[in-house]
């Protein structure tokens, strides 16, 4: 079986830019290329994917119905590529000091890059492993990493912990979902009965929601990444409860809508964890210090 040729990252990034800026011309200018070159890239992307992405007319171009979900998938790919670059920079082999760490997905994607930026002038290499909160705890307990960062509301007693950030979860739906027009907050018992698109078991986001609902949840669909959950919910399929860190961009540009809730405490603390009784020194201590700046 012949493997399909993957679309290039520049074309996907251009498509996302067109959706965000509203025109090929504006996206071309932002990318530093001519409008004909941008149009050619998009035509090539359409040919490669076999999907018409833009409707072109005298008044400009806009996304087709099939183009809208493709943009969401493309945005997830571009964001993952950006995270890859940040992570690779943290793993440079010529660093004078090195720390092994693990972080849950939400922290790794939306918080760790800020910490790394604070450390960019220091000769420290960070080897970061990304998993869910349960996986992070297992890595710390197994002494496979020196320091972990978790979202789960309950931390085992054999681990030392320190709060590094505050967060809260919010109920989000697609703009056309009936709940997007809701005038009153959704109570806990109603939320528990909604078709929830949830993170996998072991994730801090899942654990926080289950704790708030006293375990009364029925997953309509389970997915192992924030990006996948957001794509499904943005398509109008189900609803989700996710970190404000993970959905800030989608709420700002209208791809998702926050629905108020009542009778629920969806606040949480993000914590650093390490083996109790072990003193953090060197690069590990510096990474922990970067979280407090």
Residue-wise pLDDT for 265-280, tens only, equals 999 999 999 999 888 8
Please determine, for residue 206, whether its predicted confidence score (pLDDT) is greater than 80: yes
Query: Pick from 273, 270, 269: which is nearest to 159 by CA?
Result: 273
Lowest mean pLDDT among 26-40, 123-137, 243-257: 26-40
Residue 36 is part of a domain; what is its CATH number?
1.10.10.10
Q: Which residue has the higher pLDDT, 3 or 58?
A: 58
**CATH number for position 93:** 3.40.190
DSSP string over 250-280: HHHHTSSEEE-EES---EEEEEEEEETTPPP
51, 78, 105: which is the final residue of a domain?
78
pLDDT at 279: 87
Answer whether residue 3 is part of any domain: no
Residue 210, pLDDT above cutoff 60? yes
Residue closest to 241 by CA, chosen among 211, 265, 209: 209
Regarding whether 171 and 121 lie in a shared domain, the answer is no
Q: Please check whether residue 4 lies inside any domain of the structure.
A: no
Same domain, yes or no: 72 and 89:
no
Last residue of a domain, one of 63, 78, 93: 78
Residue 87 resides in a domain = yes
Query: For residue 216, what is the domain's CATH number?
Result: 3.40.190.10
CB distance 72 to 255 below 8 Å? yes
**Within a domain: 115:** yes
Q: Does 1 reside within a domain?
A: no
Please say if the pLDDT value at position 35 is more than 60.
Answer: yes
- pLDDT the model gives residue 93: 44
In-domain check, residue 221 = yes
pLDDT of res. 162: 96
- Count how many domains the chain has: 3
What pLDDT is recorded for position 4? 61
Mean pLDDT of the chain: 88
Based on the fold, state whether residues 286 and 157 are members of the same structural domain. Answer: yes
> Averaged over 165-188, what is the pLDDT?
94
Of 92-101, 158-167, 175-184, 190-199, least confident by mean pLDDT is 92-101
pTM (2 decimals)?
0.66
pLDDT of residue 88: 64
Query: Would residue 101 count as lying in a domain?
Result: yes
Q: Which domain holds residue 189?
A: 167-268
So what's the pLDDT on residue 31? 82
- Computed on alpha carbons and rounded to an integer, the radius of gyration of the chain in Å comes to 21
Select the highest-mean-pLDDT range: 58-67, 93-102, 214-223, 274-283. 274-283
Q: Is the same domain home to 18 and 66?
A: yes
19 and 154 fall within a common domain: no
**At residue 181, does pLDDT exceed 60?**
yes
Confidence (pLDDT) at 122: 73
DSSP characters for 21-60? HSSHHHHHHHHTS-HHHHHHHHHHHHHHHTS--EEEETTE
In a domain, 224, yes or no: yes
Cβ contacts of residue 115 below 8 Å, gap of 6+? 287, 290, 291
Give the pLDDT band of residue 28 (cuts 50, 70, 90). Answer: confident
Residues 110 and 57 in one domain: no
pLDDT in tens, 142-174: 999 999 999 999 899 999 999 999 999 999 999
| Residue where a domain stops, chosen among 31, 54, 78 | 78
Instruction: Tell me 195's DSSP state.
Output: -
pLDDT of residue 94: 43
pLDDT tops 60 at residue 115: yes
pLDDT in the model for residue 220? 84
Helices (H), the chain: 9-21, 24-31, 35-49, 67-90, 105-110, 112-118, 133-141, 188-192, 204-212, 226-234, 244-253, 282-290
The fraction of the chain above a pLDDT of 90, given in percent, is 56
Are both 155 and 183 inside the same structural domain?
Answer: no
- Give me the mean pLDDT over the 213-232 stretch: 87
């Amino acid at each position: 079986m012949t493997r399909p040729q993957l679309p290039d990252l520049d074309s996907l990034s251009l498509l996302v830019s067109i959706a965000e800026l509203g025109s090929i011309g504006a996206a071309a200018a932002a990318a530093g290329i001519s409008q004909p070159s941008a149009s050619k890239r998009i035509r090539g992307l359409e040919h490669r994917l076999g999907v018409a992405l833009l409707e072109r007319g005298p008044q400009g171009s806009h996304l087709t119905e099939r183009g809208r979900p493709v943009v969401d998938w493309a945005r997830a790919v571009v964001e993952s590529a950006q995270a890859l670059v940040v992570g690779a920079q943290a793993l440079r082999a010529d660093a004078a000091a090195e720390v092994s760490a693990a972080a849950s997905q939400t922290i790794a994607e939306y918080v760790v890059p800020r910490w790394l930026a604070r450390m960019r002038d220091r000769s420290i290499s960070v080897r970061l492993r990304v998993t869910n909160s349960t996986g992070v705890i297992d890595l710390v307990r197994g002494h496979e990493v020196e320091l972990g960062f978790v979202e789960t509301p309950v931390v085992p007693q054999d681990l030392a912990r320190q709060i590094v950030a505050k967060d809260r979860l919010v109920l989000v739906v697609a703009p056309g979902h009936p709940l997007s027009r809701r005038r009153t907050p959704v109570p806990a018992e109603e939320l528990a009965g909604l078709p929830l698109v949830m993170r996998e078991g072991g994730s801090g986001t899942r654990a926080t929601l289950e704790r708030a609902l006293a375990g009364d949840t029925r997953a309509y669909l389970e997915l192992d990444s924030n990006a996948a959950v957001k794509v499904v919910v943005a398509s109008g399929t189900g609803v989700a409860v996710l970190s404000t860190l993970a959905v800030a961009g989608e709420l700002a540009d209208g791809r998702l809508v926050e629905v108020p809730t009542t009778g629920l405490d969806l606040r949480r603390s993000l914590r650093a964890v390490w083996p109790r009784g072990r003193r953090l020194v060197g690069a590990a201590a510096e990474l922990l210090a970067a979280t407090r700046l």
